[in-house]
Amino acid sequence: MKIDSTKRYEVLRERLGNGDVDRRTFFRLLGFAGMAAGVSGGVMTGLSRRALAAGTELHFEGWGGVVSEALRKHAFDPYEKKTGNTVIDATFGGEAEVLTKVRAAGSTDGHNILHSSGVSWYKRWVDAGYGTELNLANIPNVDNVMDSIMAPFRAITPDSLSAVPYDYGTTGIAYNTEHVSREQAEKLGADLLLAKELKGKIGGWGGDWANRAWYGALQSGQDPNDIEDWDAVWDKVREHRSLVLKYWSSGAELMDLLAKGEIWVTEAWSGRVAALQAQGHPIGYLDPKNGLAWMESMFVLKGSPMAEAEELLNFMLDPQTAIAVAEGQKYPPSLDPQKVAMTPVIEKLPAYDPTGKLAGLVFRDPDKWNPVEKQQRKAWNRIKKGA
Given a contact cutoff of 8 angstroms between Cβ atoms, the answer to whether 335 and 144 are in contact is yes
Q: Is the dihedral of CA 357, 60, 345, 258 positive or negative?
A: negative
- Alpha-carbon separation of residue 1 from 7, 14, 32 (angstroms): 10, 20, 15
**What CA–CA distance (Å, rounded) separates 273 from 169?**
11
Average pLDDT over residues 304-316: 98
**What CA–CA distance (Å, rounded) separates 215 from 383?**
15
pLDDT of residue 387: 78
- Main-chain phi, psi angles of 333, to 5 degrees: -75, 165
pLDDT of residue 45: 45
**What CA–CA distance (Å, rounded) separates 35 from 44?**
9
Q: What is the pLDDT confidence band of residue 184, given thresholds at 50, 70 and 90?
A: very high
- Domains of the chain plus CATH, in order, are 2-52 (no CATH), 57-168+294-366 (3.40.190.10), 170-293+369-384 (3.40.190.10)
Residue 264's region, left for phi above 0, alpha for psi from -120 to 50, else beta, is alpha
Listed in sequence order, the residues at least 6 apart from 192 whose beta carbon sits closer than 8 Å to its beta carbon are: 173, 175, 180, 184, 185, 198, 265, 286
**What CA–CA distance (Å, rounded) separates 371 from 377?**
11
Q: What is the pLDDT of residues 11-55, one digit of tens each?
A: 555 555 454 544 444 444 444 444 344 444 444 444 444 444 458
Per-residue DSSP letters for 39-93? --THHHHHHHHHHHTT--EEEEEE--HHHHHHHIIIIIHHHHHHHS-EEEEEE-S
User: Mean pLDDT, the chain, as a whole number?
Assistant: 89
Q: What is the pLDDT of residues 287-305, one digit of tens each?
A: 999 999 999 999 999 999 9
Helix (H, G, I), strand (E, B) or coil at 385: coil
Given a contact cutoff of 8 angstroms between Cβ atoms, the answer to whether 323 and 148 are in contact is no
Which residue, 330, 367, 303, 298, is CA-closest to 116?
A: 298
